[in-house]
Amino acid sequence: MAISASMVKELRDRTGLGMMECKKALKEAGGDVEKAIEDLRKASGLKAAKKAGRTAAEGLLAVRGSASVATMVEVNSETDFVARDDGFKGFVSDVCVAAEAQGSDDVAALLANGIEAQREALVQKIGENISVRRIARLEAPVTGFYLHSTGRIGVLVGLEGGSEELARDVAMHIAAVNPRVAKPEDMPEDVVEAEKGIIKAQPDMEGKPAEIVEKMMVGRIRKFLAENSLVEQAFVKNPELTVGKLLKEAGADITGFIRFEVGEGIEKEETDFAAEVAAQVQGSK
């Protein structure tokens, strides 16, 4: 498989390694960026790579909430220019109001209930594809939410006890730090097993007695879980406290959270317009 410059750049951005090392790793992984990262971690003890920075779609999030229910929607556009359009912003707000009233995360039902006609009219007016991608709904004794000023990152938080203000503070933390799970015990077993495999394959494990490897493994897995679990993380507004301690002092407990980031998980083709124009000029000769 041919290794493109964009693939090398993504791996460099996510690992901080040199271009030639990234290119070699991609060749050995058959062009699979995630496999290349895993292989690099096994071979060199590379720390967890950053998440891919590219988003696959533009658009906005909208959030609404009451004391015990919070709703969030993602609506995508093809370009950031359209995402800044007042008509598009108004449509996203309407989608969120309708989703809150509907009381479920069923996008198809929402579209069938009048939103599709509104979407089609906006597409005709703007001349760009627009899609209602997803709805999140969270119910808890206490809910709170946070929407970043860009409208591209949003979080819903549910608490048992505490206050809406506390839930919002926790939501702000989640937006900034992006934990994988609420508590260490919530981490999926397959993720833990994959991390164990990576740790065992690291160079400093080679040749050590099994009991030493096991002790090191326990410590590193504990650290991995702490770094990726909300309640174990240092609270962004007061690093002297963990989020778990913050909640405990307020007589609260986390029941769940949902974090959206616009375009996450969708592949988007990147176009080199200069190269495209050059190719067209060359072809016209």
* Domain locations along the chain: 1-54, 58-181+253-261
- Give first-to-last CA distance, the chain, whole Å: 31
- The CATH T-level fold of domain 58-181+253-261 is Tetrahydropterin Synthase; Chain A (3.30.479)
| 3-state SS, residue 206 | coil
Output DSSP code: residue 137: E
* pLDDT of 54: 35
In the sheet with 153-160, reading across from the earlier edge strand, the strands are 142-147, 153-160, 253-261
Arch. (CATH architecture) of 1-54: Orthogonal Bundle (1.10)
| 3-state SS, residue 30 | coil
Predicted confidence pLDDT, tens digits, the chain (285 residues): 788 888 888 888 777 787 888 888 999 999 988 888 888 877 766 655 654 433 337 999 999 998 899 999 999 998 889 899 999 999 999 999 999 999 999 999 999 999 999 998 998 888 788 999 999 999 999 999 999 999 999 999 999 999 999 999 999 999 999 999 999 999 999 999 998 888 888 888 788 888 887 888 888 999 999 999 999 999 999 999 999 999 999 999 999 999 999 988 776 655 454 555 555 555 555
The whole-angstrom separation of Cα 26 and Cα 36 is: 6
Using an 8 Å Cβ cutoff, are 56 and 131 in contact?
no
* pLDDT of 44: 66
Which long-range contacts (C-beta less than 8 Å, at least 24 apart) are formed by 263-269? 263/55, 263/56, 263/57, 263/58, 263/59, 263/76, 264/55, 264/56, 265/56, 266/55, 266/56, 266/57, 266/76, 267/56, 268/54, 268/55, 268/56, 268/57
Residue 163: CA count within 13 A, CB half-sphere: 6
Judge if 1-54 and 58-181+253-261 fold alike in CATH terms. no
Residues in the chain: 285
The whole-angstrom separation of Cα 114 and Cα 261 is: 26
| 3-state SS, residue 135 | strand
| 3-state SS, residue 193 | helix
* pLDDT of 228: 94
* pLDDT of 238: 96
- Nearest C-alpha neighbor of 183 from the set 131, 232, 239: 232
* pLDDT of 202: 83
Burial class of residue 96, CB neighbours in 10 A (0-12, 13-18, 19+) = buried
Residues 6+ apart with CB under 8 A from 81: none
Q: At what angle do helices 19-28 and 5-15 cross, to 10 degrees?
A: 110
- CA-based angle 86:92:123, to the nearest 5? 70
